[in-house]
């Protein structure tokens, strides 16, 4: 016996579709959630997900690590005769609060990186995170080259 295709389709869903509205921004701040990506390519732009992807987590970690390394290099160079150009950070360092300087610099850049990670599906954020990593890699290479050339380390 052949099935009849002339019958009309009846939606038998009991629960409403949860994707009827996009994921709100505040849901990215809570831990958990299942939405890590989108099923369709056109859905994934300028919308939030519950979990960041591995690339975003890696970029955030690299930005935080290289920023902390930059803070340590800054303190190192200040002890060898350099001076801080940022007047706010210079006041903190001159007050003898070098550890506070490292914490403020690391957490400041780390929080900015986390803010960018929450917005991972926005095009400007994609370019911004990659630009930050590139800038910090160049800055770290500069620090290492200066240390090697001037035999400071």
- The answer on pLDDT for 137 being more than 90 is yes
Percent of the chain with pLDDT over 90: 22
Question: What is the pLDDT at residue 80?
Answer: 82
In the predicted model, what is the mean pLDDT of the chain? Answer: 78
What angle in degrees, to the nearest 10, is found between the helix axes of 123-149 and 54-79? Answer: 30
Residue 131 predicted with pLDDT over 90? yes
DSSP-based three-state secondary structure for 134: helix
pLDDT tens digits for range 67-79: 999 999 988 888 8
Spatial neighbors of 40 by CB under 8 A, at least 6 apart, are none
Distance CA 136, CA 67 (A): 7
What sign does the CA torsion over 152, 147, 64, 94 have? Answer: positive
């Amino acid at each position: 016996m052949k099935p009849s295709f002339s019958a009309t389709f009846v939606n038998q869903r009991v629960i409403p579709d949860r994707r009827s509205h996009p994921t709100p921004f505040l849901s990215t701040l809570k831990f958990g959630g299942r939405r890590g990506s989108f099923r369709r390519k056109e859905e994934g732009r300028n919308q939030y997900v519950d979990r960041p992807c591995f690339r975003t987590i890696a970029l955030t970690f690299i930005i935080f690590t290289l920023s902390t390394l930059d803070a340590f290099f800054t303190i190192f160079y200040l002890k060898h005769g350099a001076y801080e150009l940022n007047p706010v950070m210079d006041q903190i360092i001159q007050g003898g609060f070098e550890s506070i300087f490292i914490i403020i610099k690391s957490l400041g850049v780390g929080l900015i990186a986390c803010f960018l990670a929450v917005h991972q599906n926005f095009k400007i954020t994609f370019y911004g995170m990659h630009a930050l990593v590139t800038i910090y890699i160049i800055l770290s290479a500069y620090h290492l080259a200066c240390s090697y050339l001037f035999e400071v380390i």
